[in-house]
């Protein structure tokens, strides 16, 4: 065997070292994540705002603003903005931003996205409701946008945090379904494919993003619907992270050396009560709706079923959120008071109701709803629980077509804005295709929206929380938590109200 020369030895040594370095570094660039579901609309970001859909969309898209756990909107595709007149806002856009296709981002793309949401095609999307007050928009220059609203809106920058910006020219060229399958955004990751059966999506870092990922270069999504299977995938190291876990899992995961992140959030879990139904109906009487609140033992749900990670609530704004009224307490568990109110409303023999509930989420919802049904039965309210899929729920919620269902599971999604007014609007006559309406509340809601002075607005919100407590458009239950489990591969985890920011995750090379 011929003897190698010194230069050749150096070359081989260099190549070997490089190969070893790449081998050590490559695994740390990948993150394998298990989630309960993909959005039913895949890459169409206009159909919802909740996890886990929101964190996938936030990986692909940007909005003009985003929200952290503070009270103010933060710069996204817009760097600054000002309220130049009561119904006029000017947004100054971030320069140098490009779509995944390489197309430069300008004010025209924001205008095109808003036009889409205000068109007949977009009117049915949930996010279109955030633009209903917008009546005009124009580009003052390629990176300056003026938006005009019908009436003053103090939180327009927050509302726009859920409006993901698409490439309107491409949307028009390929259509809604084409865009959903091959989404193009400006976000930190671009979609490579949805995987077999749309259950194993692959995303890779987009080098041109202004949110360039710190560590995760490739993101592998696995849809594992069943909770125990998702948990076992994490324990057996088939995945590095699993979302949508239960509070019951925390101690078990920690005992096995895995890490958990339990993120309390300002969302409020509730049962929405429909008072917009034909003919006489018990839920049209506020006394009946109050009785349902007295009937449910929320303390037991919070302490026994949710292990103290949540607290009972009696208003749409939980503690720590803008507008929370500390004088408004949760309805106490009082079956006797519930029966008395039912009798006072003309139902001494009780009532029967049907609840449509979504149970495939992050908390033991099915058990909670069964517990609620038992509590309500003790107060003379017979409840039929109808389990529906999230996709079915989205369709019914957007259209308002609930059929004969009397009530349904509904989260007051305060996390989307870090502000309760959006959720309040959805439990009011102002929601497109409303399910609940009390005309007396509308002026108070409009007063909150129009007030720019933050101190005055806080006072108006607190007064509104007190009024809504008495009107009782829902059975309030508790605030919510989002449980994530992960392994030693991650050294840092960052979660916003709308989900995990994968671009900020820090991975450790094994």
Q: Convert the pLDDT of each residue in 130-156 to its tens digit.
A: 898 999 999 999 999 999 999 888 889
Q: What is the mean pLDDT of residues 275-301?
A: 96
The fraction of the chain above a pLDDT of 90, given in percent, is 71
End-to-end Cα, the chain, rounded Å: 37
Contact 159, 81 (CB under 8 A): no
Fold of 266-480: Dipeptide-binding Protein; domain 3 (3.10.105)
Give the model's confidence band at 363: pLDDT under 50 very low, under 70 low, under 90 confident, else very high.
low
Higher local confidence (pLDDT), 438 or 361 = 438
Tally the C-alpha atoms within 13 A of residue 246's C-alpha that lie toward its C-beta: 20
* pLDDT for 18: 39
CA distance 365 to 270: 11
Residue 476 to residues 155, 207, 292, 344: CA-CA distances in angstroms?
25, 45, 10, 22
Alpha helices in 421-508 (DSSP H): 421-426, 442-450, 454-471
Contact 126, 46 (CB under 8 A): yes
Q: What is the mean pLDDT of residues 52-57?
A: 88
| Pairing state between β 381-387 and 351-357 | parallel
Tally the C-alpha atoms within 13 A of residue 61's C-alpha that lie toward its C-beta: 31
Tally the C-alpha atoms within 13 A of residue 125's C-alpha that lie toward its C-beta: 27
Residue 289, pLDDT > 90, answer: yes
Fold of 28-42+187-240+487-507: D-Maltodextrin-Binding Protein; domain 2 (3.40.190)
Max Cα–Cα distance, the chain, nearest Å: 103
CA distance 369 to 39: 24
Alpha helices in 87-167 (DSSP H): 107-117, 156-159
Residue 225: both structure tokens together: 């619907």
Summarize pLDDT for 108-133 with one digit per residue, the tens.
Answer: 999 999 999 999 989 889 899 889 89
Q: Which residues contact 179 (CB under 8 A, 6 or more apart)?
A: 43, 44, 166, 170, 171
Q: What is the mean pLDDT of residues 271-296?
A: 96
Q: Residue 131: which of 144, 140, 122 has the closest Cα?
A: 122
Residue 224 to residues 31, 180, 241, 362: CA-CA distances in angstroms?
16, 21, 12, 13
CA distance 374 to 380: 10
Contact 50, 36 (CB under 8 A): no
Give the model's confidence band at 415: pLDDT under 50 very low, under 70 low, under 90 confident, else very high.
confident
* pLDDT for 360: 59
Residue 191, pLDDT > 90, answer: yes
* pLDDT for 183: 97
Contact 234, 489 (CB under 8 A): no
Q: What is the mean pLDDT of residues 234-254?
A: 94
Residue 279 to residues 60, 142, 275, 282, 284: CA-CA distances in angstroms?
46, 54, 10, 10, 10
Q: State whether the Cα torsion 461-464-470-476 is positive or negative.
A: negative
Residue 223, pLDDT > 70, answer: yes
Contact 208, 98 (CB under 8 A): yes
| Pairing state between β 506-507 and 65-67 | unpaired
CA distance 440 to 468: 11
Residue 10, pLDDT > 50, answer: no
Please, where in the chain does CATH 3.40.190.10 lie?
A: 28-42+187-240+487-507
Residue 358, pLDDT > 50, answer: yes
Summarize pLDDT for 17-36 with one digit per residue, the tens.
Answer: 433 333 334 444 899 999 98
CATH of 62-169, one of 3.90.76.10, 1.10.1740.110, 1.20.1730.10, 3.30.420.40: 3.90.76.10
The phi, psi pair for 83, rounded to 5°, reads -90, 95
Contact 76, 61 (CB under 8 A): no
* pLDDT for 357: 94
Which DSSP category does 179 fall into? H
Mean pLDDT over each residue of the chain, to the nearest integer:
90
Contact 74, 157 (CB under 8 A): no
Please, where in the chain does CATH 3.10.105.10 lie?
A: 266-480
Higher local confidence (pLDDT), 50 or 94 = 94
Residue 348, pLDDT > 50, answer: yes
Please, where in the chain does CATH 3.90.76.10 lie?
A: 62-169
């Amino acid at each position: 065997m011929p003897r190698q020369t010194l230069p050749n030895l150096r070359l081989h040594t260099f190549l070997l070292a490089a190969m070893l370095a790449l081998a050590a570094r490559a695994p740390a660039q990948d993150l394998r994540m298990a989630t309960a579901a993909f959005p039913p609309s895949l890459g169409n970001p206009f159909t919802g705002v909740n996890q886990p859909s929101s964190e996938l969309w936030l990986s692909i898209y940007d909005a003009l603003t985003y929200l952290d756990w503070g009270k103010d909107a933060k710069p996204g595709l817009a760097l600054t903005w000002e309220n130049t007149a009561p119904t006029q806002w000017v947004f100054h856009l971030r320069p140098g931003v490009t779509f995944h296709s390489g197309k430069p981002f300008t004010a025209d793309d924001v205008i095109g996205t808003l036009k889409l949401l205000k068109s007949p095609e977009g009117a049915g999307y949930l996010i279109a409701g955030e633009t209903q007050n917008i009546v005009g928009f124009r580009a003052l220059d390629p990176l300056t946008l003026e938006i005009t609203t019908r009436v003053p809106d103090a939180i327009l920058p927050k509302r726009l945090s859920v409006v993901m910006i698409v490439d309107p020219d491409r949307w028009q060229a390929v259509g809604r379904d084409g865009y959903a399958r091959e989404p193009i955004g400006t976000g930190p990751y671009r979609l490579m494919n949805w995987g077999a059966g749309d259950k194993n999506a692959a995303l890779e870092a987009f080098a041109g993003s202004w949110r360039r990922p710190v560590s995760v270069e490739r993101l592998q999504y696995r849809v594992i619907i069943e909770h125990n299977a998702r948990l076992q995938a994490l324990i057996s190291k088939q995945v590095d992270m699993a979302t949508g876990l239960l509070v019951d899992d925390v101690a078990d995961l920690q005992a096995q050396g895995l890490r958990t992140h339990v993120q309390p959030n300002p969302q409020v879990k509730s049962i929405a009560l429909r008072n917009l139904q034909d003919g006489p109906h018990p839920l049209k009487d506020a006394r009946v709706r109050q009785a349902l609140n007295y009937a449910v033992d929320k303390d037991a749900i919070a302490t026994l079923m949710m292990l103290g990670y949540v607290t009972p609530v009696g208003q749409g704004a939980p503690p720590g959120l803008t507008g929370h009224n500390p004088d408004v307490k949760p309805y106490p568990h009082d079956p006797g008071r519930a029966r008395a109110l039912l009798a006072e409303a003309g139902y001494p023999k009780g009532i029967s109701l049907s609840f449509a509930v979504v149970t495939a989420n992050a908390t033991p919802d099915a058990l909670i709803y069964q517990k609620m049904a038992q509590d309500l039965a003790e107060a003379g309210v017979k409840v039929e629980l109808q389990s529906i899929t999230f996709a079915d729920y989205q369709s019914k919620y957007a259209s308002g077509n609930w059929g004969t269902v009397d009530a349904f599971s509904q989260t007051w999604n305060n996390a989307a804005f870090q502000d309760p007014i959006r959720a309040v609007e959805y439990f009011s006559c102002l929601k497109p295709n409303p399910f609940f309406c009390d005309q007396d509340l509308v002026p108070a809601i409009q007063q909150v929206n129009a007030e720019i002075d933050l101190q005055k607005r806080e006072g108006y919100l607190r007064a509104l929380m007190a009024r809504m407590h008495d009107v009782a458009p829902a059975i309030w239950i508790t605030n919510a938590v989002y449980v994530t489990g992960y392994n030693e591969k991650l050294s840092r985890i960052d979660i916003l109200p709308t989900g995990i920011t994968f671009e900020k995750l820090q991975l450790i090379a094994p």
